[in-house]
Amino acid sequence: MKQYSRIKVLALSVGLACMVPAANVLAHHSFSAEFDADTTGTMQGVITEVRFTNPHVRYRMDVTMADGRVENWEVQAGSVTSLRAQGWNADTFEIGDSITVDGQLGRGGSHKIYVRGISMAGGPGFGTASTSQTPQRDRNTVYADPDTYYGHVQVNPNFPIDISGAWKNGYKFRVTVDDLEPKPTPYTEEGRRLRDANEKYDDPALRCISLGLPRIFGNPYNMDIYDAGDHYLFLYVEHNSPRRIWMDGRTPPADTRPTSNGYSVGRWEDDNTLVIETTHLLPGWLDGSGMPMSGDGTRTVERYEFREDHLAADRTMTIYDPLYTQPLVRTRGMAREDNLDVFEQDSCDPTSYFTDLREAGLLDEYLTP
């Protein structure tokens, strides 16, 4: 176990309700690349910088060590979207505030801590430091009212059910890192080479590039669906990303260019199962750990199997990619719920990404074409 001056190493109980869950950061990039999940601590310091921006919030704080030295530490939290939903805003913690932070420590002795609990004397507490008695909702439970209409307008009467309206993608959520089956991952030789070559700074999410498919399928943020007659329009809160699923039997035109969400064609297989096939995707990552995706050779097939009451669905994505010897499968859910927030997400700011590169001495390397 690592030891740090004025850091009390402790074990955070898995049962504690946390306002800044690991899922929020892991949905964007690999937590394990920066932090040691098994080395936790409690620190006190004074905030010297606030970066309340996506893809994840950061603070800098001065920590006075036992020998009188002052060290400047980075405090990382989840996304602006997830924090604001829990009452944590840009002015909750400000420069000059004295804070106490519980969390996981940076790898290799780096001066970093990832927030599991944070509080200020006489002020609010979040995560493990929260005094709120509000019970946490079970991510595997559907809380929708069967007597409530959650849709917008069903334009196409040929669709067997109305899926328009807001959906909670945190239902049956799993962290989008190392979540693909089967295990061990069936890499080809080239796939393994590309995976081993990927570093955390290569993650498109850190540069505020839209995650796109298949990663956006796995994230926990809400989405809104509109029935546009010949297509469905999926609006993801994540990166304010729109996606069209053509439902009129068309095929991609010959001049279709690759995009982050690709070209999607859907069909109702039966009264409760929507199937969507997507091609023309840009190269990228399949998850936050750096699993590579070829792009040109990638094809995804999604199955949305709705319950009989149409208040929830099990979602399955099968990924076909020449960098793997077998198809890869990602499973999630979606559910109706009252008062879902589907407003525009705060813009993403890559300042933290370039600051990290500069501090690591890698700025010239990553800016060189």
Residues 77 and 224 occupy one common structural domain: no
Q: Provide the token pair at 107.
A: 């790898």
The reply to whether 170 falls in a domain is yes
Residues 174 and 317 occupy one common structural domain: yes
Residue 368, pLDDT score: 75
Helix (H, G, I), strand (E, B) or coil at 332: strand
Residues 176 and 107 occupy one common structural domain: no
Residue 286, pLDDT score: 96
Facing residues of 234 across strands?
225, 243
The reply to whether 159 falls in a domain is no
Residue 337, pLDDT score: 96
Residues 121 and 239 occupy one common structural domain: no
Residues 191 and 64 occupy one common structural domain: no
DSSP 117-164: EEEETTS-EEETT----PPPPPTTS----TTS--------TTSSS---
Residue 348, pLDDT score: 84
The reply to whether 29 falls in a domain is yes
> What radius of gyration do the chain's Cα atoms show?
22
| pTM summary value | 0.81
In the block, tokens 């750096």 appear at 290
Burial 6-19 (b: 16+ CB within 10 A, else e): ebeeeebeeeeebb
Burial 37-75 (b: 16+ CB within 10 A, else e): eebbbbbebebeebbbbbbbbbbbbebeeeeeeeeebbb
Cβ neighbours of 138 (radius 10 Å)? 9
Q: Quick one: which H or E segment has residue 49? A: strand 35-51
The reply to whether 157 falls in a domain is no
In the block, tokens 């990927």 appear at 198
Residue 134, pLDDT score: 57
Residue 168, pLDDT score: 96
The reply to whether 363 falls in a domain is no
| pLDDT tens for the chain, residues 1 to 369 | 333 333 333 323 222 233 344 334 334 445 666 788 788 899 999 999 999 988 889 999 999 988 999 999 999 998 887 788 778 999 999 999 999 999 999 888 889 999 989 999 888 888 878 776 556 678 899 999 999 999 999 999 999 999 999 999 999 998 888 899 999 999 999 999 999 999 888 988 888 888 899 999 998 889 999 999 999 999 998 888 899 999 999 999 999 999 999 999 999 999 999 999 999 999 999 998 899 999 999 999 999 999 999 999 999 999 999 999 999 999 999 999 999 988 877 788 888 888 888 888 999 888 876
